[in-house]
Amino acid sequence: QVQLVETGGGLVQSGDSLRLSCGASGGTLYKLAVGWFRQAPGREREFVAAIDWSGQRLFYADSVKGRFTISRDNDNTAGYLQMNSLKPEDTAVYYCAAAIGMKYSNTFNDLTRYDYWGQGTQVTVSS
């Protein structure tokens, strides 16, 4: 059973950058897709970015495209979300998730397809 722990959240100003990490324990991220989702107060959890098990295919929500970059370690122990040019509307709890056997491009943004979830890390962007 893989456990995921997010780190790197915090309070920043508009235009700043943050790098979130998603560490795996109790197992590795080998052959698992990794996704990042976020949930703002009063809103549903939404897709942010995902990377397939090989690191070859990357997916982004339109709202973060060009500002956020998802990546993963070659040793399959961690995933990352580099967030640049942060905006107040990026304020949310950010969750990482991992999925077994995810192949089709239209599934990476579906949170119901993910098997493992972290506890989340708060990101607050002030204007």
Q: What is the pLDDT of residues 28-39, one digit of tens each?
A: 999 999 999 999
For 38-64, write each residue's pLDDT tens digit. 999 999 999 999 999 999 999 999 999
* Structure-block tokens of residue 48: 């942010």
pLDDT at 44: 98
Taking alpha carbons only, the member of 54, 60, 111 closest to residue 81 is 60
Amino acid at 93: V
C-alpha span between 13 and 76 (Å, rounded):
32
C-alpha span between 54 and 72 (Å, rounded):
9
Residue-averaged pLDDT of the chain: 96
The answer to whether 37 and 22 have CB atoms below 8 angstroms apart is no
For 58-85, write each residue's pLDDT tens digit. 999 999 999 999 999 989 999 999 999 9
The answer to whether 13 and 126 have CB atoms below 8 angstroms apart is yes
